[in-house]
Homo-oligomer: A and B are copies of this chain.
Amino acid sequence: MDWGTDLWDQYDHIDKHTQSGLDLVERYIKFVKERTEIEQSYAKQLRNLSKKYAKRGGKEEQDCKFSNHASLQEILNELNDYAGQRELIAENMMTGICVDLTKYLQDLKQERKTHLTDAKKAQQNLEISFKQLESIKKRFAKEWAETEKATQQAEKTENDINATRLDVEKAKTHAHGRIHTAEECRNDYAAQLQKYNKEQNFFYYTEIPQIFNKMQDMDELRIRRMAEGYCQFADIEKKVQPIISKCLEGISTAGVKINEKQ
């Protein structure tokens, strides 16, 4: 589908469709922002948990020489690293998705506004041209009626046996003047009609299709950008998975290496 060709008369539809696209970007940014907040609070809770159960010198320090105490300490350290990875997810989502998409959204809103304004302006220009045509047509009709009236008046005067030759001459001159003016008006109208037809043609076959095609490009780019944002949402977490696996491996190691004989 080509918007310029297939939707040339669907200004309102394109307006609504692109607005719904912007809304989706906005909704996605908000969604990711809330996800990062959840992730931040989750990481914070894990960090606090790790801190709470970590040994703080004194009597407990002594127990650390026993492997099962020392291993719990290592597990808490790994959990703290784990929390760091969750924080990294939150930060990368915030900068990689929310900040970038918000900036993009501003540009997009501006671009869409410009296109819609251009389309409206073109529409208005065509309407002004049409109004001019109407007004010239009206003037031509009025002049034509006046001319007919003047011609009839001249014929009537010519046939009037009471009219002087001066009267007849004056009526004829008046009628000729009218005819001349009417012909000028007809030429104006013909010129304006030609101008309007050309403009209308340009509007429907060039101007509006160009704007709508630009809007289609814009919307397609937006969708590609959204798709990128969706993939990032998963990629950011996929990226830390090996490190999270390492943390889990560290916990297992801490468990496995415990020697109950020591």
Residues of chain A whose beta carbon lies under 8 Å from any beta carbon of chain B: 1, 20-21, 24, 27-28, 31, 34-35, 38, 41-42, 45-46, 49, 52-53, 63, 67-69, 71-72, 75, 79, 219-221, 223-224, 226-231, 233-235, 237-238, 241, 244-245, 248-249, 251-252, 254-256, 258, 260-261
CB contact between A49 and one of B34, B227, B254 (< 8 Å): that residue: B34
Give the number of times this chain occurs in the complex, counting copies.
2
Q: Of the candidates B49, B72, B219, which one forms a contact with A230 in the assembled complex, judged by CB atoms under 8 Å apart?
A: B72
Contact B38 A49 (CB under 8 A): yes
Say yes or no: B245 contacts A228, CB within 8 Å.
no
Contacts of A68 in B (CB 8 A): 21, 24, 223, 226-227
Decide: A38 near B31, CB < 8 A? Known: A233-B255, A234-B252, A251-B233. no
Complex Cα distance, B69 from A226, in Å, reads 10
Chain B residues in 8 Å Cβ range of A219: 260
A252 to B63, CA, bound (A): 47
